[in-house]
Amino acid sequence: MSIKCPLYINGQFIETADKQNIINPSTGKVIAEACLASEKEAELAIASARAASDQGPWPQFSHLQRKEFILKIAQGILDNAASLAQLEMQNAGKPIKETTFMDIPSSAKAFESIANNFIDYLQDEEFSISNEAKGKVLSEPMGVVVLIIPWNYPLLIACWKLAQALAAGNVVILKPSSLTPVTVLELAKIIHNSGLPAGVVNIINASGSKIGEALCADKRVDMISFTGSNEIGKQILQYSSKNVKKSIMELGGKSASLIFDDVDLDTAVNGSLVSIFLNQGQMCTAMSRIFVQEDIYDKFLDSFIEKAKRIKLGLADDYQTQMGPLISDAQRKKVIGYIEKAKAEGAKVLCGGKIPDKAELKNGYFFEPTVLVDVGAHSHIFKEEVFGPVVLIHKFSGSDEAVALANSIDFGLAACIWSKDLFLAQELAGRLNAGVVWINTYGMFYNQLPYGGFKQSGFGKELGRQGFLEYVRFKSVIIDQSDGGKPLVNYWYGF
């Protein structure tokens, strides 16, 4: 029997007549029936959130009261970790090893970390401006925040955004991807059981084409935090321009990894495999362009291909599986289309490039790890995000060429540098046009550090002090301290 997933609005679980089947990408089978919101439910969520922000107790709660609720949610995620890991595996097609040891613990840690740090982030500041005045900078909630979540990390990215928004005193309307709503709607039960006041968190599942404009254009919404594709991000910005509001846009990437000839080859190859094939390459930060210094290029390429061929594709519920399915048949067709276009533009496929022929995988949306070479810098696949297990490997001679290749596209989300020369690596990190740079590692996200990109990869940050303060507005208060309470304006016109 499939799982039933109602909406969560104003503290109530709401069934709708319109529903959708949720598919397990490993098997093609239905695992859940999720309610779909119409503009009617979107209106109810906005009205409930606005009332909770304007008349409800949450924005006036003390920092310690907010901290208590946020820690309850963190504990609720841990208490339900096993079932959440199973649901995330079934809904998103992630290998169970990843959901168990990465996604779910990291989701709880997002709440725990912000609970233990946000009070320090929210300290009001005072300034002695002159003998005549002193100033204060007060931090306040933004108000009603719409959080729009992608399908590649459904629970984790929801928790990143939700923990920060709540800690800052905001109320939230959270819209998961309609492909992967199950764990976020399950999170609604944890939030409800924490005793959070009604209307503070509203979770509505729907196609963005149906309710996106209703959520993003409404003047009762104060802020939008979106993670997803560049195309949809631009659409959201158009909607929000009808009633100007703050936005965070974490959009696509076409990240580059620079491998220098002084590295330990095995370490660089193993790290690079993870940097592109983890989560089936469905990561904004995927290192889909790997540039290798020419002296070790052949050795690196041979080792990378040999190990890529050994990656175990399998059903996501198998702990031996190293790579699961893509999210949908449509996504797999998109990946295949990019490979065919790359071949037409002169690229060679040295590994993968096709649907696996194993009988046990035939009902899922599987695709082999794929390695391309001879990819020209002007080809589509060099510049555009594939969002699948496809990597191009290219050689370079010196560091200037490597940086120029990495920076030559419109995206600027992330990069890797692999070198034993840490002085060089750190100097190059400053030259790379990317918001996150890993040196001799990949994919280590720390809640204390901000995350977000440059250029067409968007603007604004998540995580860290900088990310948290995106969810806060600042108010300046100037207090007169002139002698006798007679400020300059008292004399200006001489009355």
Query: Domain containing 362 — which CATH number?
Result: 3.40.309.10
Mean pLDDT over 10-38 rounds to 97
Q: Which residues partner with 145 through β-bridges?
A: 172, 223
Report pLDDT for 492: 86
Strands (DSSP E) found in 122-254: 125-130, 133-141, 144-148, 171-175, 201-203, 223-227, 246-250
Tell me: do 166 and 199 sit in the same domain. Answer: yes
CATH number at residue 181: 3.40.605.10
Question: In terms of Cα–Cα distance, which of 294, 375, 298, 312 is closest to 342?
Answer: 375
Which residues, including other chains, have CB under 8 Å from residue 98's CB and lie 6 or more apart? 278, 279
Mean pLDDT over 391-407 rounds to 98
Mean pLDDT over 421-428 rounds to 98
The rounded distance, in Å, linking the Cα atoms of 124 and 140 is 10
Tell me: do 428 and 467 sit in the same domain. Answer: no
Report pLDDT for 434: 98
pLDDT cut 90: percent of the chain above it: 94
CA distances from 375 to 183, 216, 328 (A): 39, 39, 26
Question: In terms of Cα–Cα distance, which of 320, 227, 356 is closest to 282?
Answer: 227
Report pLDDT for 32: 96
In a domain, 396, yes or no: yes
Mean pLDDT over 215-221 rounds to 97
Report pLDDT for 166: 98
Residue 86: pLDDT band by 50, 70, 90 thresholds?
Answer: very high
Handedness of CA 353, 359, 363, 364 (dihedral sign): negative
Report pLDDT for 78: 98
Amino acid at 177: S
Report pLDDT for 266: 98
Helices 104-121 and 81-92, interaxial angle, to 10°? 110
* Interstrand relation of 12-14 and 7-9 (parallel, antiparallel or unpaired): antiparallel
- Residue 433 has a CB neighbour count (10 Å cut-off) of 17
Nearest 5 degrees, angle CA 266-CA 269-CA 405?
A: 135
The edge-to-edge listing of strands for the beta sheet with 3-5 is: 3-5, 30-35, 19-23
Mean pLDDT over 168-194 rounds to 98
Report pLDDT for 131: 82
pLDDT cut 70: percent of the chain above it: 100
Tell me: do 246 and 260 sit in the same domain. Answer: no
Tell me: do 39 and 180 sit in the same domain. Answer: yes
The rounded distance, in Å, linking the Cα atoms of 467 and 50 is 23
Residue 169: pLDDT band by 50, 70, 90 thresholds?
Answer: very high
Residue 16: pLDDT band by 50, 70, 90 thresholds?
Answer: very high
In a domain, 294, yes or no: yes
The rounded distance, in Å, linking the Cα atoms of 492 and 495 is 8
Mean pLDDT over 63-81 rounds to 98
In a domain, 412, yes or no: yes
Report pLDDT for 423: 98
* Interstrand relation of 133-141 and 125-130 (parallel, antiparallel or unpaired): antiparallel
- pTM for this model (two decimals): 0.96
Residue 144: pLDDT band by 50, 70, 90 thresholds?
Answer: very high
Report pLDDT for 456: 97
Tell me: do 386 and 463 sit in the same domain. Answer: no
Report pLDDT for 191: 98
Residue-number span of the structural domain to which 77 is assigned: 3-251+457-477
Domain count, the chain: 2
In a domain, 74, yes or no: yes
Active site residues: 250, 284
Tell me: do 268 and 413 sit in the same domain. Answer: yes
* Interstrand relation of 472-480 and 133-141 (parallel, antiparallel or unpaired): antiparallel
For every residue of 77-115, DSSP letters joined together read HHHTHHHHHHHHHHHH---HHHIIIIIHHHHHHHHHHHH
The rounded distance, in Å, linking the Cα atoms of 223 and 206 is 19
* Tens digits of residue pLDDT in 339-364: 999 999 999 999 999 999 999 999 99
pLDDT of 156 over the 60 cut: yes
pLDDT of 87 over the 70 cut: yes
Question: In terms of Cα–Cα distance, which of 386, 144, 391, 389 is closest to 253?
Answer: 386
In a domain, 34, yes or no: yes
Report pLDDT for 490: 85
Question: In terms of Cα–Cα distance, which of 370, 356, 257, 374 is closest to 314?
Answer: 356
| CA torsion, ordered 441, 418, 434, 302, to nearest 10 deg | -100
In a domain, 447, yes or no: no
Q: Calculate the average pLDDT of the chain.
A: 96
Tell me: do 43 and 124 sit in the same domain. Answer: yes
Residue 132: pLDDT band by 50, 70, 90 thresholds?
Answer: confident
| Residues 94 and 26 sit within 8 Å (Cβ to Cβ) | no
Handedness of CA 219, 459, 213, 164 (dihedral sign): negative
The rounded distance, in Å, linking the Cα atoms of 388 and 324 is 11
Report pLDDT for 332: 98
End-to-end Cα, the chain, rounded Å: 82
In a domain, 329, yes or no: yes
Mean pLDDT over 134-149 rounds to 96
Helices 81-92 and 182-193, interaxial angle, to 10°? 160
Tell me: do 292 and 200 sit in the same domain. Answer: no
| Residues 120 and 139 sit within 8 Å (Cβ to Cβ) | no
Report pLDDT for 491: 84
In a domain, 374, yes or no: yes
Q: Which residues partner with 171 through β-bridges?
A: 144
| Residues 20 and 34 sit within 8 Å (Cβ to Cβ) | yes
Tell me: do 296 and 151 sit in the same domain. Answer: no
Element (H, E) at 31: strand 30-35
The rounded distance, in Å, linking the Cα atoms of 70 and 110 is 10
pLDDT of 1 over the 80 cut: no
Report pLDDT for 486: 85
The rounded distance, in Å, linking the Cα atoms of 442 and 277 is 12
Question: In terms of Cα–Cα distance, which of 108, 172, 110, 175 is closest to 148?
Answer: 175
Tell me: do 215 and 263 sit in the same domain. Answer: no
Residue 485: pLDDT band by 50, 70, 90 thresholds?
Answer: confident
Tell me: do 228 and 93 sit in the same domain. Answer: yes
Mean pLDDT over 36-61 rounds to 97
Torsion angles phi and psi, residue 494, rounded to 5: 75, 20
Tell me: do 80 and 175 sit in the same domain. Answer: yes
